Amino acid sequence: MAQSKRLSAGITRTNREMADGRTIRYYDTKHQTRTSHDRRPIEEQPGIGELRLDPLVNEWVAMAAHRQGRVFLPPKELCPLCPTTSELLTEIPESDYEVVVFDNRSPSLRPPDADWALPDVAGPDSDLGTAAGKCEVICFTADHGKSFKDLSPDRVHVLLEAWIDRTEELSLEPFIEHIAPFENRGEEIGVTLAHPHGQIYAYSYLPPRVEKMLATANSYKASTGKILFDQILAREIRDHKRIIARNNDWIAYVPYASRYPFEIHIAPLEPVADLTELTQVARDGFAPIALEIMKRLDGVFGIEMAYIAAWHQAPVRVGRDVLRLHWQITSVRRAPGKLKYLAGSESAMGAFIMDMRPEQSAAQLRKVKL
Amino acid sequence: MAQSKRLSAGITRTNREMADGRTIRYYDTKHQTRTSHDRRPIEEQPGIGELRLDPLVNEWVAMAAHRQGRVFLPPKELCPLCPTTSELLTEIPESDYEVVVFDNRSPSLRPPDADWALPDVAGPDSDLGTAAGKCEVICFTADHGKSFKDLSPDRVHVLLEAWIDRTEELSLEPFIEHIAPFENRGEEIGVTLAHPHGQIYAYSYLPPRVEKMLATANSYKASTGKILFDQILAREIRDHKRIIARNNDWIAYVPYASRYPFEIHIAPLEPVADLTELTQVARDGFAPIALEIMKRLDGVFGIEMAYIAAWHQAPVRVGRDVLRLHWQITSVRRAPGKLKYLAGSESAMGAFIMDMRPEQSAAQLRKVKL
């Protein structure tokens, strides 16, 4: 049975069950009946993986050994994210779509049993959990050859509403603590499917970087009474020279201490904890700046840049008063034939070395003719 | 003027000044007079870089914009790490060498003025320092085509003594807080010079991962009275199934919660804080296990594995009672044609997903016929 729900901005979400029990959600602006059945044979689902504690740093590592065999750079004719055709039954049973979100077929994290709980983290003898959470795939367009930057403003708006809807719904799950929508783009960073899409990871624990952002923001609040991110944004506005774009509701800048040759943070000027708290006017203002930034990024060297674009949100249950929503885009390309790699200093020690001044990278991004 | 010093194990170190004032150190087992002059024209040295605080996580990022133009994968005939010949003046003025260590020509970190101090880390308004520290290059052999695994046990012994000597000497500098010798190997991880070599980074601040290891070990000690790493090692020995090799003085294992398809930790069985504290018998036992592990790693797929091999030492001034020396080797190759990439979850959130069970990777490493 299809279940439909009216979201804001005239968008309808229709949920359908896939052959193996997973859910696919269609986000449509036009009236659509989404009734096509997933006619593929049912494959067995892998079980839930392990969470193991890395005791050296007290961080969870999710073990997802079943992902080793996942689909790897299939040609366009075999793309599982394209609409279904008479030749190929894909993940999307319909013959066309706007934006869809479906449960990942090879999830790193999956919903646990009802009695699930995360063990207390203590050290080398209290170190095994189950990799609870949820992993979803979000397709930006049915058009295989497009990129985020080629989407229409209307489509980016639907995408944003889909991210908001997923954050809202996943936040209701008792086993979910943090929700991170992100896009990986480019074979250089290991993308295994070329179709324009992103992922949504919903964790049952605070990811280590989120945990550190939270601790830092809490300690800053305790010592100054202020919200760290608001002060950071105020400084970027004061310094001015690293700002790339700005409209009434959003600002995009290369952060003062960026870690990648091209790193861009995009934040709403009216601070919110997560996507669900964005005002209607902020939602409307997102598409233009998002598209401008992505076009600038590809314009720097005139080639498609490999990037990771991740939404940093406040966790579901903690830190909502001290952490702020922002979108972080990082690109490892430092020159047309050269990538930045995380080697000894970054990878083993966590100490980042930047080969380029943030002010220079901001100037290059601003200079791009659109 | 050449300055010679007798180290242990019959090794002599000879220091020479390079044309631009940098120091090169020859580590020799045979009697050698190292008198060749660096006859290259003097190039101007770049100034010291900035350290900028990433206020979101309270971590320093070193800005080394001058490194952007560094030598990138030169052909063998132009390798700057080969001995000098009549055709090419390289970094090493001698016509042959065993192990040499010289100051990096494009260092990310460099010695500061005498009145240098690191600013207190506080937030978005106390965030600028100078990138003090020291970066050195260590060449394992004059033979361009070799790898670490092809070295003789005697040569690995000289290499270990050179690492020890550098740790000892760099520890005396008042501006140095942490010393990390590491090797990056493989173009897949961004190595720009194919000649077998490593680097030594001496930081004026605690690298973020070291800081977290220290905080974790301190809190474990406070709550249990025990040394975290010793308990980790005891568990690996008890579990047994992830051990790859062992001799009287060292043990090599895939850690319980490894983050990379092939990750190996090698630790002395008699725990020490850093390389300088290794007993003579532990120093003698290192070469066999180090060579065995590196051969096993290349044997898994029958190809040269890209890896990062980094020494984790206790910092120079803090944590020496709770942190332990170990050597961490991580390889991103998960299958002959496939690498593990750090994408959205790992890179943006710090949450690692492992595609392979550590027990499976240990079994594959053990199975390699040597």
Domains and CATH numbers, chain B: 3-206 (3.30.428.10), 210-367 (3.30.428.10)
Mean model confidence pLDDT for chain B? 92
Which ipTM did the prediction report?
A: 0.94
Contacts of B63 in chain A (CB under 8 A): 354, 357-358
B191, B207, B212 member nearest A57 (Cβ): B212
Question: Contact B15/B29 with Cβ under 8 angstroms?
Answer: no
Question: Contact A26/A32 with Cβ under 8 angstroms?
Answer: yes
Task: Tell me how far apart the alpha carbons of residues B331 and B108 are, in angstroms, rounded to a whole number.
Answer: 24
Strand partners, B61: A352, B52
pLDDT digits (tens, 9 = 90+) for B103-126: 999 899 999 988 888 877 667 776
By C-alpha distance, the chain A residue nearest B205 is A351
Question: Contact B184/B152 with Cβ under 8 angstroms?
Answer: no
Active-site annotation of A, residues: 197
Residue contact A308–B341, C-beta within 8 A: no
Task: Tell me how far apart the alpha carbons of residues B309 and B199 are, in angstroms, rounded to a whole number.
Answer: 10
pLDDT at B44: 76
A57, A335, A347 member nearest B213 (Cβ): A57
Contacts of A34 (CB under 8 A, 6+ apart): A2, A14, A16, A26, A28, A94
Question: Contact B140/B99 with Cβ under 8 angstroms?
Answer: yes
Catalytic residue among B197, B265, B312, B326: B197
Question: Contact A290/A263 with Cβ under 8 angstroms?
Answer: no
The CA-atom distances, in angstroms, between A352 and each of A333, A343, B57, B73 are 15, 9, 13, 22
B127, B232, B342 member nearest A342 (Cβ): B342
Contacts of A59 in chain B (CB under 8 A): 350, 352
Find where tokens 């063998």 sit. B76
B195 catalytic, yes or no?
Answer: no
Q: Which of B176, B183, B223 is nearest to B200 (CA)?
A: B183
Residue contact B349–A54, C-beta within 8 A: no
Angstroms from B86 CA to nearest CA on chain A: 32
Interface test with B, best of A48, A53, A63, A231 (most B CBs within 10 A): A63
Least confident interval from A95-104, A111-120, A281-290, A331-340: A331-340
Contacts of B352 in chain A (CB under 8 A): 54, 59, 61-62
Residue contact A341–B201, C-beta within 8 A: no
pLDDT digits (tens, 9 = 90+) for B136-168: 999 999 999 999 999 999 999 999 999 999 999
Q: Rounded to a whole number, what is the largest CA-CA distance in chain B?
A: 63
Interface test with B, best of A56, A205, A230 (most B CBs within 10 A): A56
Phi-psi region of B102 (alpha: psi -120 to 50; beta: other; left: phi over 0): beta
Amino acid at B283: R
| Tens-binned pLDDT, residue by residue, of chain B (370 aa) | 567 889 887 899 999 999 999 999 999 998 788 989 999 988 777 788 899 999 999 999 999 877 656 666 788 889 999 999 999 999 999 999 999 999 999 899 999 988 888 877 667 776 778 999 999 999 999 999 999 999 999 999 999 999 999 999 999 999 999 999 999 998 777 777 889 999 999 999 999 999 999 999 999 999 999 999 999 999 999 999 999 999 999 999 999 999 999 999 999 999 999 999 999 999 999 999 999 999 999 999 999 999 999 999 999 999 999 999 999 999 988 888 777 778 899 999 999 999 889 999 999 999 999 9
* Chain center to CA of B47: 24
Q: What are phi and psi of A252, to 5 degrees?
A: -125, 130
Q: What are phi and psi of A332, to 5 degrees?
A: -90, 0
